Amino acid sequence: MKEKVVLAYSGGLDTTALIPWLKENFDYEVICCCVNCGQGNELEGLDERARLSGAAKLYIEDIVDDFCDNYIMPCVEAGAVYEHKYLLGTSMARPAIVKKLVEIARKEGASAICHGATGKGNDQIRFELGIKALAPDLKIIAPWRMTDVWTMQSREDEIAFCEAHGIHLPFDASHSYSRDRNLWHISHEGLELEDPSQAPNYDDMLVLSVTPQKAPDKETEVTMTFESGIPKTLNGKEMKVSEIITELNRLGGENGIGIVDIVENRVVGMKSRGVYETPGGTILMEAHDQLEELILDRETLETKKKLGSQFAQIVYEGKWYTPLREAIQAFVESTQKYVTGEVKFKLYKGNIIKAGTTSPYSLYNESLASFTTGDLYDHHDADGFITLFGLPLKVRAMMMQEAKKTEK
């Protein structure tokens, strides 16, 4: 009986070429697994394509709700943003995909998992760290690093390889953006983006959005409610998280929200440039932040911001299945107990404009915050506070004065 390999299958040219390549070079029975994280119409025609390419079986696994509830929301609650801009759309999808790949590998009795990530990118790290954490006994096949047997270097090579194996597929050799899409975002790399001096060609590139310049010249009003950090309603309608993100994608895309052009530092050491469309995610994270700033005390908020940055790096580096991620997430979850309330805002030409926030757990006290004297605050109390708060500064200044006198 042949050994089985589970192939992380997208239906694109790379993973289509991998099916006959795995059979030819390793004599594997190839089990394709496409994990649906909200790729939309990219899933169309996969059954026939996998069969024509020689796959023994194809799984199409829908994990959209799992992705939203157990991967996206922990990142939203943590305020996890990599290098101030990237909302981790690809990064947080990979551990969700890996978990399903391992599950299928166990079900099929496979001995290996194969991925099509390149040797220059982050995804090879994310896939392989996840597999090592969940299934250390499984072999990992990374063709793009196996240059002795993987000799294809271009789309033309891959198409020729498929043709030679009797696989006639609807791909051509024309170059296009390299994209990754799920419910949270779509990323774009390649073409003019490889030159940081060049402006993105948004007219050809954007899929989910329009640019702010092309957005309607009118405001879109949005109201959301949260319970313990989780979004529950959008414009008065109760929805699942996945449904809320889907609708926010539509609203945000129409209003030019969440288009980011970034040069980021990859884990492997190089810089890369990409454009990310994250319309719904940008709105959701802003709404969550808007509510949190009303509820969390200063020190908790400061600590959470620091850990949120660390959480983003952990996710970016593929270390989802680690004790540190679990520990930081546990802290974050403890801060979300009272993150409940209503957030209102307006979308206008790429901007998210506050329109009011309320919560039964708000720490904002109008009596304290106003310029009039209230019962809870006596202006004279500030005298002693400032004296003690500034004592180290005063002591040092006095010492410096004495030192200067001695020098003379």
Q: How far is CA 14 from CA 22, 33, 115, 153, 207, in A?
A: 12, 14, 10, 11, 22
Q: How far apart are CA 225 and CA 232, in angstroms?
A: 6
Burial 200-214 (b: 16+ CB within 10 A, else e): bebeebbebbbeeee
Sign, CA torsion 111/146/9/54: negative
How many other C-beta atoms are found inside a 10 Å radius of the C-beta of residue 149? Answer: 10
Pair of tokens at residue 224? 């959301």
> Virtual CA dihedral for 150, 151, 156, 161, nearest 10 degrees?
-70
| Bridge partners of residue 36, in order along the sequence | 62
Backbone region of residue 349 per phi and psi (left: phi > 0; alpha: psi in -120 to 50; beta: other values) = left
As annotated, the active-site residues are 14, 94, 123, 178
Q: How far is CA 375 from CA 53, 276, 301, 390, in A?
A: 76, 50, 26, 26
- Which helix (H) or strand (E) segment holds residue 139: the answer is strand 139-141
- What letter represents residue 84's amino acid? H
3-state secondary structure at position 72 = helix
